[in-house]
Amino acid sequence: MEIKFKVLGITLVCLFLCTLFFGIATSGSGTNGYDPWVDLNDDGNIDYNDLYTFARAYGSSGTPINKTALLLELLSRIDSLNASLIALESRVEALEARIPKKGSIFIAPAAFTPEYSSSSYTKNPWRLHGYGGFYAQLQLPNGVIIKNMTCYLIDMVNDGKVTVMLLGMNFSEYPHEHPLTIPMGMVETGGTDKPGDVILYDDTIADNKIDNQYCTYTIEVAFTYDTALLAMGGIRIDYEYP
């Protein structure tokens, strides 16, 4: 008797599936159109393969799944991941914004002008030497921070030296003939030594934030006397954007 009921059940299922399949086949794309939930093997076609899968699962039992709720949960998780990605990108941009942007400028010997027109000197694109002081104006973007002054010098005598000074002139309180002079950095050769070609630097720059609204900036180079054995080959200023 049990076998008869099983045969009867299978027969009814087959008749039902055949009726469903026949309806789908004869209506082209189905009565209500293609339904991806019915496409059990996800091949884009609702055909006997889907019926075979359904027939094999017939009579089984288990915990049902709310497919709509599952889909909504997956969409919610995708939205959450997208929000996390956006937040992470914002943090990366904020960190990149905090990284100082660096720059540098090189002042060649030809840019310097003697303090007095009567001074004796020799100047070309790669070397400057002479008697007394020489000046070059320093132009930097407003708000940058000077980090270092590197000086390329020659001192091959034992009775003289080369001195380089970075100066700021503040015109906010003394706008006319006597602006406030701000010593910002200095290097000089040894005087009694004979170092030859040397590279000296000062990375302890005072008042090192550029203020183009009230201040101008100058580099001064001074030689003890005029000789090719006391010379300057250029000045490099390194700075960072805040």
Domain ranges of the chain: 1-60, 69-99, 101-241
C-alpha separations of 90 from 39, 81, 99, 102 in Å: 42, 14, 15, 23
Amino acid at 91: R
Please provide residue 10's backbone torsions phi and psi, each rounded to the nearest 5 degrees.
-65, -40
Closest CA to 223 of 137, 101, 96, 116: 116
Cβ atoms of 242 and 144 within 8 Å: the answer is yes
pLDDT for the residue numbered 31:
57
Question: How remote is the C-alpha of 234 from its chain's centroid?
Answer: 31
How many whole angstroms separate alpha carbon 147 and alpha carbon 237?
8
Spatial CA neighbour of 22 closest among 55, 48, 56: 48
pTM (two decimals) = 0.60
Please list the pLDDT of the chain residue by residue as tens digits (242 residues).
444 444 344 444 444 444 444 444 444 445 567 877 777 778 888 887 878 777 877 778 877 777 788 888 888 899 899 999 999 998 888 887 777 789 999 999 999 999 998 889 999 999 999 999 999 999 999 999 999 999 999 999 988 999 999 999 988 876 566 778 889 999 999 866 667 889 999 999 999 999 999 899 999 999 999 999 999 999 999 999 88
Token representation of residue 194: 């004979």
Determine the angle formed by the axes of helices 48-57 and 2-26, rounding to 10 degrees.
Answer: 150
CB-CB contact of 190 with 205 (8 Å)? no
Token pair 């020799």 in the structure block, residue: 122
CATH class as words, domain 101-241: mainly beta
> Largest Cα–Cα distance of the chain, in whole Å?
130
